[in-house]
């Protein structure tokens, strides 16, 4: 088809019919010829059809070529994503860099990292905002000397530090195959309030086979531990401890700690040893030697937690403190199973069969109970 404009020619002479040259219209509209009884009054089309003015058609969509068989990789954005680490030196450098830069960094390794030396992190300048690390469940395996702590976050005198945020740590203290590390994750503030660590968050922390799994020691307060795991440790799975009460060091108090869904089991101490100022909920404590929760000074509150065959009693109270509340907790036992340790080629008992939920120190006790599935030779009850 010829491009516009168009013209009407006399077929006999080949000449252009006057007034019918340079005919055109908008793209997508039609051109037709009509007859009529008067000018401007067409009534019958005499052209054989209608001519569509080209240029207004919507072209069809091209066929889908499918996925690119050789796509170009998307280049990383500087400062974005996870920092790759492959050894303990890079791990130490990453954690300290995040502290220095006052930010929560993300790093990880596809393969386990063996640690031979303790890592201690301190922050010298602080703006009051969150800082810390996400390790993306990188497996940290202790291969250093017995009794040394794996990772310690230590307060610095003169820096009232808040906002420490640690998540997705996975730490093995080597106590199953060798001599155990001291503490897997240690939050440590021995200088009192001038060097405190507060308003912290520990989330999705998994520890095993050390002396303690998670330890809060000194002026560590107003913090949250959520979904924290401490299993198969040679002492208390989760340890919270005041420092300096004897006057040998600054008075450093652990207080106002919130614990949600702790799972602390098969430890040769207690599942969790705590000071008074702790609230815990949704806990699970199984086969610990010295009880699920050991509270020498009482506890602020524990509720909706369960313990099974976890020492002679689930919650061991040393006193009522400022008023302790135990609510909707359950102890479960067969009256026989208890914590044991394989030593000298044989199994040695390190705990007692569970018979009680707690002991009476005049605490508030609401809707707690014992479940017994033994052979009937024992008579467990909630209150000792």
Q: How far is CA 352 from CA 309, 335, 339, in A?
A: 8, 9, 7
Is the pLDDT at 326 greater than 60? The verdict is yes
Over range 67-87, report the average pLDDT.
Answer: 72
- Residue where the block lists tokens 């080597």: 174
Pairwise pLDDT comparison (244 vs 59), residue with the higher score: 244
- Confidence at residue 260, expressed as pLDDT on a 0 to 100 scale: 98
Q: DSSP secondary structure string, 19-82? A: T-SSB---TT-EE--EEESSTT-EEEE-SSS-EEPTT-PPPPPPPP--S-SSPPPPPPPTT-SP
Pairwise pLDDT comparison (221 vs 57), residue with the higher score: 221
Q: Give the range among 52-66, 125-139, 207-221, 339-353 with minimum mean pLDDT.
A: 52-66
pLDDT (tens digit, 9 = 90+) per residue, 108-118?
999 999 999 99
pLDDT (tens digit, 9 = 90+) per residue, 328-362?
999 999 999 999 998 888 999 999 999 999 999 99
Residues 6+ apart with CB under 8 A from 349: 338, 339, 340
Grouping H, G, I as helix, E, B as strand and the rest as coil, residue 335 is coil
Instruction: For residue 214, give the DSSP letter.
Output: E
Q: Is the Cβ–Cβ distance between 292 and 285 less than 8 Å?
A: yes
User: With pLDDT > 90 as the criterion, what percentage of the chain qualifies?
Assistant: 74
- Confidence at residue 40, expressed as pLDDT on a 0 to 100 scale: 77
Is the pLDDT at 209 greater than 80? The verdict is yes
Is the pLDDT at 80 greater than 60? The verdict is no
Is the pLDDT at 88 greater than 70? The verdict is yes
Pairwise pLDDT comparison (43 vs 256), residue with the higher score: 256
Architecture of domain 83-383: 3 Solenoid (2.160)
Q: Give the range among 40-44, 95-99, 228-232, 255-259 with minimum mean pLDDT.
A: 40-44
- Confidence at residue 342, expressed as pLDDT on a 0 to 100 scale: 87
Burial label for 26, CB within 10 Å (0-12, 13-18, 19+), is: exposed
Over range 217-243, report the average pLDDT.
Answer: 98
- Whole-angstrom distance, CA of residue 161 vs CA of residue 220: 10
Is the pLDDT at 78 greater than 60? The verdict is no
What's the pLDDT band for 62 if we cut at 50, 70, 90? confident
Q: What are phi and psi of 94, to 5 degrees?
A: -65, -50
CA nearest to 308, candidates 327, 336, 281, 280: 336
Over range 276-297, report the average pLDDT.
Answer: 98
pTM as predicted:
0.79
- Whole-angstrom distance, CA of residue 142 vs CA of residue 230: 15
Q: Is the Cβ–Cβ distance between 197 and 185 less than 8 Å?
A: no
Is the pLDDT at 126 greater than 80? The verdict is yes
Q: Give the range among 161-165, 196-200, 227-231, 374-378 with minimum mean pLDDT.
A: 374-378
Instruction: For residue 79, give the DSSP letter.
Output: T
User: With pLDDT > 70 as the criterion, what percentage of the chain qualifies?
Assistant: 96
Over range 282-304, report the average pLDDT.
Answer: 98
Q: DSSP secondary structure string, 269-306? A: S-SEE--SSEEEES-EEES-SS-SEEETT--SEEES-E
Over range 5-24, report the average pLDDT.
Answer: 84
- Confidence at residue 32, expressed as pLDDT on a 0 to 100 scale: 84
Looking from the CA of 141 toward its CB, the CA atoms found within 13 Å total 12
Residue 238: its H or E element: strand 238-241
What's the pLDDT band for 59 if we cut at 50, 70, 90? low
Looking from the CA of 341 toward its CB, the CA atoms found within 13 Å total 17
Domain spans of the chain, in order of start: 1-59, 83-383
- Whole-angstrom distance, CA of residue 162 vs CA of residue 269: 30
- Whole-angstrom distance, CA of residue 315 vs CA of residue 326: 9
Pairwise pLDDT comparison (56 vs 317), residue with the higher score: 317
- Whole-angstrom distance, CA of residue 268 vs CA of residue 257: 23
Is the pLDDT at 299 greater than 60? The verdict is yes
Q: Is the Cβ–Cβ distance between 366 and 325 less than 8 Å?
A: yes
Is the pLDDT at 41 greater than 90? The verdict is no
- Whole-angstrom distance, CA of residue 213 vs CA of residue 229: 8
Looking from the CA of 308 toward its CB, the CA atoms found within 13 Å total 10
With b for 16 or more beta-carbon neighbours within 10 A and e for fewer, the 157-183 pattern comes to eebbbbbbbbbbbbbbbbbeeeebbbb
- Whole-angstrom distance, CA of residue 220 vs CA of residue 226: 16
Q: What are phi and psi of 5, to 5 degrees?
A: -80, 170
Is the pLDDT at 1 greater than 80? The verdict is no
Is the pLDDT at 35 greater than 80? The verdict is yes
- Whole-angstrom distance, CA of residue 140 vs CA of residue 20: 89
What's the pLDDT band for 17 if we cut at 50, 70, 90? confident
What's the pLDDT band for 286 if we cut at 50, 70, 90? very high
């Amino acid at each position: 088809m010829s491009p516009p404009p168009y013209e009407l020619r006399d077929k006999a002479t080949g000449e252009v019919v006057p007034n019918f040259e340079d005919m055109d219209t908008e793209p997508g509209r039609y051109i037709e010829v009509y007859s009529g009884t008067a000018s401007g009054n067409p009534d019958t089309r005499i052209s054989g059809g209608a001519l569509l003015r080209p240029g207004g058609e919507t072209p069809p969509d091209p066929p889908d070529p499918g996925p690119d068989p050789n796509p170009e990789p998307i280049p990383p954005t500087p400062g974005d994503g996870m920092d790759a680490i492959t050894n303990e030196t890079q791990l130490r450098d990453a954690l300290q860099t995040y502290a220095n830069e006052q930010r929560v960094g993300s790093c990880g390794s596809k393969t386990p990292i063996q640690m031979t030396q303790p890592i201690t992190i301190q922050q010298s300048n602080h703006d009051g905002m969150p800082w810390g690390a996400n390790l993306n469940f990188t497996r940290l395996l202790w291969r250093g000397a017995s009794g040394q702590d794996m990772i310690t976050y230590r307060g610095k005198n003169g820096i009232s530090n808040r906002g420490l945020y640690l998540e997705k740590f996975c730490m093995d203290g080597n106590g199953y195959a060798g001599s155990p590390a001291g503490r897997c994750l240690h939050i440590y503030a021995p200088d009192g309030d001038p060097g405190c660590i507060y308003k912290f968050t520990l989330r999705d922390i998994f520890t095993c086979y050390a002396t303690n799994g998670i330890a809060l020691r000194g002026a560590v307060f107003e913090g949250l531990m959520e979904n924290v795991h401490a299993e198969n440790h040679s002492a208390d799975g989760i340890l919270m401890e005041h420092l300096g009460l004897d006057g040998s060091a600054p008075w450093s108090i652990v207080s106002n700690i919130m614990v949600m869904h702790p799972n602390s089991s098969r430890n040769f101490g207690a599942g969790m040893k705590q000071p008074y100022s702790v609230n815990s909920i949704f806990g699970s404590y199984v086969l610990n030697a010295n009880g699920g929760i050991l509270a020498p000074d009482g506890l602020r509150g524990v509720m909706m937690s369960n313990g099974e065959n976890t020492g002679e009693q689930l919650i061991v109270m040393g006193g009522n403190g400022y008023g302790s509340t135990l609510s909707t907790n359950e102890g479960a036992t067969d009256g026989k199973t208890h914590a044991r340790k394989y030593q000298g080629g044989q199994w040695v008992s390190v705990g007692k069969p569970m018979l009680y939920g707690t002991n009476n120190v005049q605490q508030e006790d609401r809707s707690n109970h014992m479940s017994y599935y033994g052979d009937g030779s024992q008579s467990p009850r909630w209150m000792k």
